[in-house]
C-alpha cells in the first residue's frame, strides 16, 4: 500500500540557535509605549480573537480570575501562536507561582503588591535562571511558545522574560526609586484601585482624586529618574493615551470582560432605555 507524498517537508531541527524575541521588552527599552488588555474570562475563543488584533501584549489575570493551570497553559499558547505576547498577572510573588507561570508558557509576569526591595528582589530572582536568579530548570512548554528548543530557551530566557512589578500602596511609592532601579525590573505597573484602597484613612475615607493623582505622579517621576518604564491600568483608550503623553509605557485598557459588558450595556440602553444598568464589571 502506498501513501501520498506530504505537501510539506518533514521537520528538520534548526542548526542555528533561534528564539523569538520579546518585542515588548524591545519597545520599553526604546522608550516607546505599549498597549495591552486583561484576559479575565479564561475563554480560548475570546483570547484567540484578541490575540489577532494589534495589542502589544495580553495579560491573563490569574490573581482575580478563577483560572487553573490547564486553562492558563492553553491561553498562553494561543496568544503566542497568534504572534502576540502572553503575560500573566499572578496572585503573589512566591517563587513557585512565578516558576509555574513561566513554565506554563507565559513570556512574563506582573507581580502584585510589591512594597519592599526585598519582595522585588525575590520576584526578579524567581523569574531568572542562574546565575542571575534561582529559577528551577525544567519543562518544555515555555520553549514551544518562543519557537525555541528547550536548550536554547534555557540559554536565552533571561533576556526575553518580562518582569513587571506592581506599585499599589503608599509604602511601595515610598520605596519606589530603590525598587525601580533594581537590575531585572523591566517595568512598573500601578494598580489604581488597590492604590486608592491602600491610601484610605483609618476611618475608611478614600483619598481625594488630587491625592490619588499625586501618588501616581510620584510613580512616574521615580521611574523617569532611574530610567524604569512605568504604566497603569486604564479603563478607556483616551486615558491610556493621556498616560502615554505623561511618559508611561506599559498601559492596559480594560479587559475582555469589560469590553463585552460595555458594548452589551450600550446596546441594551438603546433597546431598553429603562432597563437594568448595574455596575457589573470594571476589569
d(C-alpha 242, C-alpha 253), whole Å: 12
Q: Is 212 a catalytic residue?
A: no
Q: CB under 8 Å to 124, separation ≥6 — which residues?
A: 133, 163, 182, 183, 184, 185
Catalytic residue, candidates 64, 95, 142, 233: 64
**Residues recognised as catalytic:** 64
Amino acid at each position: 500500500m502506498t501513501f501520498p507524498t506530504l505537501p510539506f517537508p518533514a521537520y528538520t531541527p534548526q542548526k542555528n540557535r533561534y528564539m523569538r524575541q520579546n518585542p515588548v521588552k524591545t519597545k520599553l527599552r526604546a522608550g516607546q509605549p505599549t498597549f495591552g488588555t486583561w484576559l479575565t474570562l479564561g475563554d480560548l475563543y475570546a483570547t484567540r480573537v484578541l490575540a489577532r488584533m494589534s495589542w502589544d501584549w495580553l495579560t491573563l489575570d490569574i490573581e482575580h480570575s478563577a483560572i487553573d493551570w490547564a486553562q492558563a497553559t492553553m491561553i498562553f499558547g494561543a496568544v503566542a501562536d497568534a504572534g502576540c505576547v502572553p503575560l500573566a498577572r499572578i496572585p503573589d510573588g512566591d517563587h513557585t507561582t512565578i516558576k509555574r507561570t513561566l513554565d506554563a508558557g507565559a513570556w512574563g509576569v506582573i507581580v502584585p503588591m510589591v512594597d519592599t526591595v526585598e519582595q522585588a528582589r525575590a520576584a526578579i530572582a524567581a523569574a531568572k535562571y542562574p546565575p542571575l536568579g534561582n529559577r528551577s530548570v525544567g519543562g518544555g512548554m515555555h520553549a514551544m511558545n518562543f519557537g525555541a528548543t528547550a536548550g536554547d530557551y534555557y540559554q536565552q530566557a533571561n533576556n526575553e522574560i518580562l518582569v513587571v512589578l506592581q506599585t499599589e500602596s503608599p509604602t511601595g511609592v515610598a520605596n519606589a526609586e530603590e525598587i525601580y532601579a533594581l537590575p531585572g525590573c523591566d517595568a512598573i505597573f500601578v494598580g489604581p484601585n488597590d492604590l486608592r484602597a491602600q491610601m484610605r484613612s483609618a476611618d475608611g475615607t478614600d483619598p481625594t482624586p488630587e491625592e490619588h493623582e499625586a501618588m501616581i505622579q510620584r510613580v512616574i517621576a521615580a521611574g523617569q529618574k532611574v530610567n524604569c518604564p512605568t504604566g497603569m491600568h486604564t479603563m478607556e483608550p483616551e486615558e491610556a493615551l493621556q498616560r502615554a503623553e505623561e511618559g508611561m509605557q506599559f498601559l492596559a485598557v480594560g479587559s475582555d470582560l469589560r469590553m463585552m459588558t460595555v458594548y452589551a450595556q450600550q446596546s441594551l440602553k438603546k433597546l431598553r432605555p429603562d432597563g437594568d444598568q448595574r455596575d457589573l464589571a470594571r476589569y
